Chain A
Amino acid sequence: MWLVRPARPDDLDQILTIAGTQSARLSSTLPKQGDALTNKIEQSIASFSGRTRAGSEPQRFLFVLENTETGAIAGTAGIDARAGNGQPFYNYRRDALIHASHELGVSRRVEVLYPSHSLTDATLLCSFSIRPELRSTSAFELLSRARILFIAEHREWFTPRIAVEIQGVQLDDGSVPFWDSLGRHFFDMDFETADQHSGQLSKTFIAELMPPNPIYVTLLSEAAQQALGRAHQITLPNLELLQREGFQPGCFLDIFDAGPVLEARTDSLRTLVASHSKALHGTHEDVGETCLIAAGEREQFRCTLTPLAETLDDKLKVPIATWKVLNKTAGDRVRIAPL
């Protein structure tokens, strides 16, 4: 059975293994170094416990996908309660100006990338990684959407606006056209280095090194222009899932690879709207539709997939095996959402 739960210190080695197999882009939110990852897990534990409060320490949640039979970790997913975690959160805003000359009868649309902090403090979904063989399974959906159920259960911790950065175009040779056409000139480092810095060091280096003025799209290389707002091929399943959830690409792009930033109103997310709270009751049969089921608050949060049947008197018939995974017993409240 697949279970999504908060990350624990003893997950470190397994998470490191997964992080190592992921492509570069993830490193900004899922460190590949033990120390950095240890910090991230500790920060997550503090966040789940409710000890951190918005405005003081950043609330950053890290979940893992666990195979309950083997104890193996097969993926990670995160939420930053406030994008930027107390510091500016950088994007480019893709916008347009009309350059028109009445005299010459010319009108031309000029695309411009403006540095933006607009998404700072929006809730951010991040740190998503999963073993490649699970990409097209329901575990993939479980891992991603469990976060929304967590948000539904702890709505006051999160903001009305929610966003997720999608990895942008990277060629087979590892080069990132947008970076090569723009960022490289200013940061004087290759893409991976910059990306790792953005995950580990304070982000002031972005403020220090990023070009301070707007960028004319027409002056970017052809390949970089093509890459604006385009998602990396491997993110397409994730992209589709998020779009079904209600996320839409807006005008914001990643400053390093120009990947799209998807945005949504937190309260309009499909999982949040469609989920509801019920009392848990037992059954020994696997009956009914497979649904997402989440239970427990804060560090007790658990989410898994289970077949279930709803009764007319507001009860939920769920296999006992699922109870165990959720650490719940008869009569406890659980939250369910259809797949």
Chain B
Amino acid sequence: MLVIRPLQENDLDDLYTMAQNAGKGLTTLPADRDILEGKINHARETFNQRIAPEAGLYLFALEDIQRKKTVGISGIQARVGLDEVFYNYRLSITVNASKELGVHVRTPTLQLSNDMTDTSEICSLLLSDEYKGGGSGLLLSRCRFMYLDDFRKHFSEKVFAEMRGVSDTQGRSPLWDALGSKFFDMEFTEADMLSGLGNKSFIAELMPKYPIYLPMLPESARAVIGRVHDNTAPALRMLQSEGFNFNGLVDIFDGGPVVEAFVHNIRTVREGMNRHAMITRKPVNLDVPAGERAMVSNRSFRDFRVTTLPIDCIGPDTVSMPPEVAEALQIESGDPVRLAPLKDAGGLTKHRYTSSVSGGASKWQS
């Protein structure tokens, strides 16, 4: 059984192994024990509310209970850009027109922006290769929306995600080569790493501040602006199905898009519903396809836990679960839980409940 829970001190070894296997692509989780330990401590303080809410870093671990092993991580940063400056390029249009000459030219332009300042970011998603498929990635990503939903006052109304941009197998980014490298005198991977480690003041110091006119960049660079890395395409599709949209901002290094959504519009949030837990001794087959499972959370701020249950377990007021699931969620019978679909529309109409209750009470009809 896979369970989401807050990241803990003893996750360090597993996290380090994961970061090592991930390679250079994931800059927010470098394979550096000190940095990872710092992140864990930061997350612990956040869940225990020992730091200012806006400084919060909520990191969740995906644990394989049977193996007692952490196999994935995902996070929410409460606010970006408060102690460091948060940069993006805004992909905008400059129009130059002369009526006299009948000329009207639209020039795509990158404008340096700090528009995401004070906004919550979903970030740091990493899943071990052996656990990919079967809905683990969905659980790891979507559990965050359940958390955002239940604890909205800790986050901004709007949340965003930065999607990894295009780079080749050697880690070379066409946009970096055409733009960043002209100003930074370093490799993309190095700059990206420094940025991921939080040494961001160098960006402010070295970045071009004036707008960049895209026609002055080579086609190879223009082509990747607002495009995601092939490996990130599934993550982008998942976020799009949640209601996230490209907001016109791109990463200043690799041109990857920023997608955003209002929390109240996120699909997982809209389709979530409350039940009470009912522990049952009847055997439950937990091993059903992702499309027939729902996420179930314990709604705890400090010890947030989420796992999945077959949608068959959901009743009008309660959700029945075997003791091991209740234990994983650290709840008892009668405790409030919140449910949300694990997968996009598809398996949810099979939910018995929709046909047994009149009046359209079900939120899950699709």
Contacts and interface: CB of A to CB of B under 8 A. Distances in A.
Q: Which of B96, B97, B184, B215 has the most CB of A within 10 A?
A: B96
Contacts of B183: 99, 108, 110, 218
Interface in A95-125: 99-104, 106, 108, 110, 112
Contacts of B168: none
Contacts of A241: none
A177 to B, nearest CB: 13
Nearest to B104: A188
B210 A187 contact: no
A186 B105 contact: yes
B202 A101 contact: yes
B94 A219 contact: no
Contact of A99 (B103, B201, B205, B211): B205
Nearest to A208: B98
B107 interface: yes
Contacts of A155: none
A212 to B, nearest CB: 7
B98 A205 contact: yes
A197 B94 CA distance: 22
Interface residues of B, number: 29
Contact of B100 (A188, A205, A220): A205
B185 interface: yes
A219 B216 CA distance: 6
A219 B185 contact: no
Interface in B174-215: 179, 182-185, 194, 199, 201-202, 205-208, 210-213, 215
Contacts of A330: none
Given A185-B213, A216-B212, A219-B217, A99 B182 contact: no
A201 B101 CA distance: 9
Interface SS of chain A: mixed
Contact of B103 (A204, A209, A211): A209
Contact of A209 (B98, B207, B216): B98
A186 B201 contact: no
Interface string B76-101: 00000000000000000010111011
Interface string A192-212: 000001000110110011111
Interface string B283-319: 0000000000000000000000000000000000000
Contact of B205 (A100, A182, A211, A220): A100
A137 interface: no
A287 interface: no
Nearest to B102: A188
Interface string B241-252: 000000000000
A211 B211 CA distance: 10
Given A103-B199, A185-B216, A219-B217, A108 B206 contact: yes
A189 interface: yes
Interface in B89-132: 94, 96-98, 100-101, 103, 105, 107
A187 B103 contact: yes
B105 A209 contact: yes
A209 B96 contact: yes
Interface residues on A, range: 20 to 34
A181 interface: yes
A214 interface: yes
Contacts of B217: 219
B212 A219 contact: yes
Nearest to A187: B103
B212 A104 contact: no
A110 B179 CA distance: 13
Contacts of A136: none
A213 interface: yes
Contacts of A101: 201-202, 205-206
Contacts of A219: 179, 182, 212, 216-217
A208 B97 contact: yes
Contacts of A103: 199, 201-202, 205
A211 B185 CA distance: 27
Nearest to A103: B202
Contacts of A182: 216
Nearest to B99: A208
B97 A218 contact: no
Nearest to A221: B216
Q: Which of B107, B194, B210, B212 has the most CB of A within 10 A?
A: B210
B94 A214 contact: no
A93 to B, nearest CB: 14
Contact of A104 (B96, B107, B202, B216): B202
Contacts of B207: 99
Contacts of A208: 96-98, 100
Contacts of B179: 219
Nearest to A100: B205
Interface in B211-236: 211-213, 215-217
A99 B211 CA distance: 16
A213 B107 CA distance: 12
Contacts of B107: 185-186, 211
Interface of A: 99-104, 106, 108, 110, 112, 181-182, 185-189, 197, 201-202, 204-205, 208-216, 218-220
14 contacts: A101-B201, A101-B206, A104-B202, A104-B206, A106-B184, A185-B216, A187-B96, A187-B103, A204-B100, A208-B100, A210-B96, A211-B213, A213-B213, A214-B210
Interface of B: 94, 96-98, 100-101, 103, 105, 107, 179, 182-185, 194, 199, 201-202, 205-208, 210-213, 215-217
10 smallest CB-CB distances across A and B, nearest first, come from A185-B215, A101-B202, A101-B205, A208-B98, A218-B182, A209-B96, A205-B98, A219-B216, A214-B210, A99-B206
Given A187-B105, A219-B179, A220-B216, 17 more contacts: A99-B205, A100-B205, A104-B206, A106-B185, A108-B185, A112-B210, A181-B216, A186-B107, A189-B101, A201-B100, A208-B96, A209-B97, A209-B101, A211-B213, A212-B94, A216-B212, A219-B217
